[in-house]
Structure 1
Amino acid sequence: MDTLIDNSDVFIAGFRTTIYLFLISAVGALVLGVVIGAMRVAPVKAANVFGTVYVNTVRNTPLTLLMFFFAFGYDKLGLIDLSYFTLAAVALSMYTASYVAETIRSGINTVPVGQAEAARAIGLPFTQTLGLIVLPQAFRAVVPPMVSVFVALLKNTTIAAGFSVAEAGAIRATLSERGEPQLVVLLWVAAIFVALVMILSLVQNRLEKKWAVSR
C-alpha cells in the first residue's frame, strides 16, 4: 500500500492519460466502426469492397506495427504535425474500428430481413432503413461482444507507453527510477486495470437490463 500512496501522483497521472486515451479512441472506433460496418452490408459494391478490405487489412495488422507507423512514419508524409498522444489515439481508433465493424455487422445480421424489406416498401432509402430500423436493434444485440471489444481497447492502450505516451503502461518504468519494487508496482497497475474492466462490465449489465425492458 505504501508504494501506491507514496507514488499516487504517478499512478493518477498515468491512469488519467490512459482513461483519456481510451475514451477518445473508443468514440473514434465506434464512429468509424459503425461506418465501416454499414459499408460491409451496403448494396453498393464499391462500399462493400472497401469495408471488406479495411477490416481484413487492419484487423490482421499487428497493433504494434500500426503504432510504429504513426510514431515514426507519419512525419515522413509531411502532413499536419500531431502529438504522440493524438497519433496513438488515431492508431487505436483505426485498429479497434475493424473489430467494432464486425461486431456491428453481426448485430445487423440478427435483425429479421423482413423489417428492412418493409422499410424499403414504404419508400425509406438504405441510409434511413439502416439508421432508423436496423442499427438500433443491432446495438441491443451486440452489447456483450461490443463491451469485450472495448475491454481489449482499454488493455491495448498500454502499448502507447512504448511510443512516448506517459500512460499506465509507463508507470513501471517511472517508478523503477525511484527504486520502487517492480513486482508491487505491476500488481497495483494490474489491480487498477481490473477495477476499470469491472466498471465496463457494470455499464454492460446496465445497458442489457435497460434495453431488455424497452423491448
Structure 2
Amino acid sequence: MTYIPRRPSVLARLPWWLLAIGLLFVTGLWAITNDAGYSQIFRALSGGVLTTIWVTLVAFTVATLIGLLVALARTSNNRVLREIATFYVEIIRGIPVLVFLFYVAFVGAPGMVAGLNWLLQPFDTVVTIRQFDFVWRAIVALTICYSAFIAEIFRAGIESVDRGQLEAARSLGLSRWKCFRLVTFPQALRTILPPLANDFVSMIKDSALVSALGVQDITQLGKVYSSGTFLFFETYNVVAFLYLTMTISLSLLVRLLERYLKERSY
C-alpha cells in the first residue's frame, strides 16, 4: 500500500507574518469603523491619500522614462554618453532625498523661474515663483531622485541578457533598435519588473517627505490634525495604517509577480 502524504491546508501553508499583518489590518479597520475618534481622524486624512497617490504615480512614471533613457546612455558605445549618464547617476544617488527636495524647491525652482522670465522678456510676460506650485516642485524632486535608481535597475536588466543573442540578432541583419526592442528588452523585463515594482513601493513611503514642503499629503494632514487636537497617538496610528495598507498590498502583488515570472522562466 502506497503512502500518500496529506497536503497541508491553505491556512497551515500561510506564513505567520502574513497572518499577523492580516490581524493588524482587521484591528485597524475595526477601530476606524467603530470608534468615533478614529473615524473622524480617517475622514480628515482621507484627502491626503489622493495627493500621495497622485504625486507617486506622476513622479514614478516620468522617473521610469528618464531612467530608461539614462540606462540606454550608460550601456551605449558612445563614451561621452556613458560618462554623462554615470555622472548623473552617481551625483543624484549620493544626495539624500530630503536634501534634494529642499534644493529643488528653494534653489532649483527659483532658478527655473528666473531662466523662464529671461526667455519671455520679448513677450512682456513675467512668471512668479508662486506659480510654481509646491506639489510640482516635490514631483520634480522625486522624479530626478528616483530616475537615477531606476536607471541602475534598467542597466542591470539590459546587461543581464547574453551578448551572444545580440550578436546572433545582428548577424541576421537586425538594426540596433530592433535588437533592443525584439531581443534585449523582452528578456531584460523579467529581471527589471520586480525591483522596479519595489521602487514604486519605496516611492510611496518617500512621498511622505513632501510634507516638509507643506504639501497636503497623508503625513502633512496628520501633522496638522494632531497639532490641533493633541491626539498624536490616534492620528499617527491612522497615518501608519494608511501607508501600511498601500505598501503591503503592493508588496504582496510584487511577490506574486516574482513568483509568476520565476515560473515562466522554467
Do they fold alike, i.e. is TM over 0.5? yes
Name stretches of at least 5 consecutive residues in structure 2 with no aligned partner. Answer: 1-30, 117-126
Cross-structure match for 1:142:
192
Alignment of 1:19-98 (within 5 A): 19-73=53-107, 74-77=109-112, 78=114, 79=116, 81-98=131-148
Cα-Cα RMSD: 1.9
**Alpha-carbon distance in 2 for matches of 1:111, 1:91:** 32
The offset of 1:212, in angstroms, is 4.7
Query: Which residue, 35, 38, 50 being the options, matches 1:16?
Result: 50
Letter in 2 for 1:107: G
Contact 1:29 1:97 in 2 (8 A): yes
Contact 1:3 1:185 in 2 (8 A): no
Query: Which residue, 101, 104, 118 being the options, matches 2:151?
Result: 101
Larger Rg: 2
Contact 1:33 1:99 in 2 (8 A): yes
Letter in 2 for 1:101: A
The offset of 1:123, in angstroms, is 2.5
Query: Which residue, 181, 187, 201 being the options, matches 2:237?
Result: 187
**Alpha-carbon distance in 2 for matches of 1:76, 1:96:** 22
Question: TM-score, normalization: structure 1?
Answer: 0.91
Please give the per-residue CA displacement for 1:45-99, whole angstroms capped at 9, x wherever unaligned. Answer: 1211111111101011111121112211112332374211111111101101111
Moved more, 23-32 or 126-135: 126-135
**Alpha-carbon distance in 1 for matches of 2:94, 2:177:** 29
Aligned length: 215
Name stretches of at least 5 consecutive residues in structure 1 with no aligned partner. Answer: none
Letter in 1 for 2:138: A
The offset of 1:27, in angstroms, is 0.4
**Alpha-carbon distance in 2 for matches of 1:135, 1:3:** 51
**Alpha-carbon distance in 2 for matches of 1:118, 1:30:** 29
Alignment of 1:104-119 (within 5 A): 104-119=154-169
Question: TM-score, normalization: structure 2?
Answer: 0.74
**Alpha-carbon distance in 2 for matches of 1:171, 1:57:** 32
**Alpha-carbon distance in 2 for matches of 1:41, 1:9:** 48
Cross-structure match for 1:4:
38
